[in-house]
Amino acid sequence: MKLKDTDALILLDVQNDFCPGGSLAVQGGDQVAAKLSDTAARFKARGGRVYATLDWHPQNHVSFKTNGGPWPPHCVQGDKGAQIHSALRLPIGTSIIRKGTNPQEDAYSGFQGTTLEDQLRRLDVKRVFLGGLATDYCVLNTALDARTFHFDTYLLTDAIAAVEANPGDGEAAIKKMKDVGTTLTTCEEVLSA
C-alpha cells in the first residue's frame, strides 16, 4: 500500500503497564511494540504524521479498583508503567497525546478529551492507521470515533493485542470496527510498497 503525506499513524497506548511485566499486561504487547517501530519510520519517511497516545491517569483515577473502578492501578502519570515500551522507536516529531487525565472520567478513545481531531484536521489528514493496545478498549474506541469523524480508518491487525477480560473480546472488537467501515490491513502490507 502506497503511503501519502496526508496519512497518519496513531500508535495507541504502547506502554509498559500494557506489556508483559506491567500491571495490566496484555499478552503479546511487547511484540506489538517491536512490530510498530518500522511502520512508524515508514510513515515519517513518506511525509506522513505519527501520533502516540498515552493512557495517563492521576493516582485517584476512577477506573482503578482502589477507587471503585474495574482495573488495577495502571499508567499512573510519571511512573515507569506509563512510559512507552522501549521496543517502540518513535520517529522524531511524533506527537504525544495524553488521555484519561481527568480523575473522574475514563477515556478509552485517543480522541476523548484530547486535541487529536483538531491536529489531524489542521494537517488535512484523510487516512488514519491504528495499531497498539488494547484491541478491545483503546483501539476499538479510537477506531469508532475515527469513523464517526469520517476519517478513512485502517486497522493494523498484526500490531494489536487484546486484554480479553472475557474470551473473544478481541475478535468481537475487530468485527465492530469492520462493521463501521474500518479496513483491515497489516504492517506487512504498509511496508511492502
Neighbouring CB atoms inside 10 A of 2's CB total 8
Dig out the grid coordinates for 52 from the structure.
Answer: 502516540
Q: What residue 159 binds from Zn ion, ligand VGL, none (CB within 5 to 8 A, per partner kind)?
A: none
What is the rounded distance in angstroms from the CA atom of residue 151 to the CA atom of residue 142? 11
Q: Would you count residue 55 as binding Zn ion (CB under 5 A)?
A: yes
Q: Where does this chain bind ligand VGL (CB under 6 A)? A: 13, 24, 55, 63, 71, 108, 133-134, 137-138
Is residue 99 among the annotated active site residues? yes
User: Annotated catalytic residue: which of 19, 75, 138, 187?
Assistant: 138
Cβ proximity to Zn ion, 7 vs 55, nearer residue: 55
What is the rounded distance in angstroms from the CA atom of residue 106 to the CA atom of residue 189? 33
Report phi then psi at 58, rounded to 5.
-75, 160
Q: What residue 11 binds from ligand VGL, Zn ion, none (CB within 5 to 8 A, per partner kind)?
A: none
State the alpha helices, DSSP H only, in 4-77.
Answer: 29-45
Closest approach of ligand VGL to the CB of residue 125, in Å: 21
The gap from C-alpha 102 to its chain's centroid, in whole angstroms, comes to 19
Residues that bind Zn ion (CB under 5 A): 55
Catalytic residues: 13, 99, 138
